[in-house]
Structure 1
Amino acid sequence: MSPAQQALLVLVHLRCGDSLARLTASFELSPTTCYRYVTEAVALLAAHAPSLDQAPAGRQRKVTILNGTITATFLVRWTGQHKRWRVHRKRTYDVNLQALSGDTGQLLWISDGLPGSPTT
């Protein structure tokens, strides 16, 4: 695949939430290749993202909003810790994301995924 097609695959996954199985069929890739493209792109984006210390720099006297949300996720690795991600009330696996944004909605920082269960 060309770099543009790889970027499109990752954008479809991140923006539309298409599963890797659907992406595999749509882009005619093997599941392993599809997974590799998505994980490599997410790691690249994370490496270029600012840290929490860097995000509010230079924002004196500007509005900065801290907010969090719990988002459903499709995949959870089956490990000894997988139960921490389970929200029994909703019967789903969820991820808790915390974010800093500016007054016009620009994303300044977002946390790593945290377990979505309120009992942790």
Structure 2
Amino acid sequence: MTDQTTNDYALGGLHHVQLAIPAGAEDLCRQFWGEVLGMTELEKPPVLAARGGCWFRGGGLEVHLGVEQEFSPARKAHPGILVRSLEGLARRLEECGHEVTWDDNFPGMHRFYAFDKLGNRLEFLEPKAA
């Protein structure tokens, strides 16, 4: 595959990742994304706040957690989140009661999987030293 250049548009990066949550689960999200991972909760615009859910930002990553009426956690689909000090994050998650499953099947990366408090799958990665 070759890179394609166009004058019509240019992709500029990822603004946010959205994960589904059930109605009323905002406090569980605040515990995981805010307290465990240390991200900062953002104030949602009033028109969007009325829908429920919550948003978090930290380390150049923004996560939007949106209410889905027929909620089912993402068990396969997941965000891949780059981390500095992956082992430190793994310890933090385990200390807070979240199981970490290491997987060395991604060349050039150390990585593990974990789940948020609602069962959404998350992948955390750190490039291996050269």
Q: Which has the higher strand share?
A: 2
Q: Which has the higher helix share?
A: 1
Identify whether the pair has TM-score above 0.5, normalized to the shorter chain.
no
Bigger relative contact order, structure 1 or 2 (CA pairs below 8 A, ≥6 apart)? 2
Q: What TM-score do the two structures reach when normalised by structure 1? A: 0.25
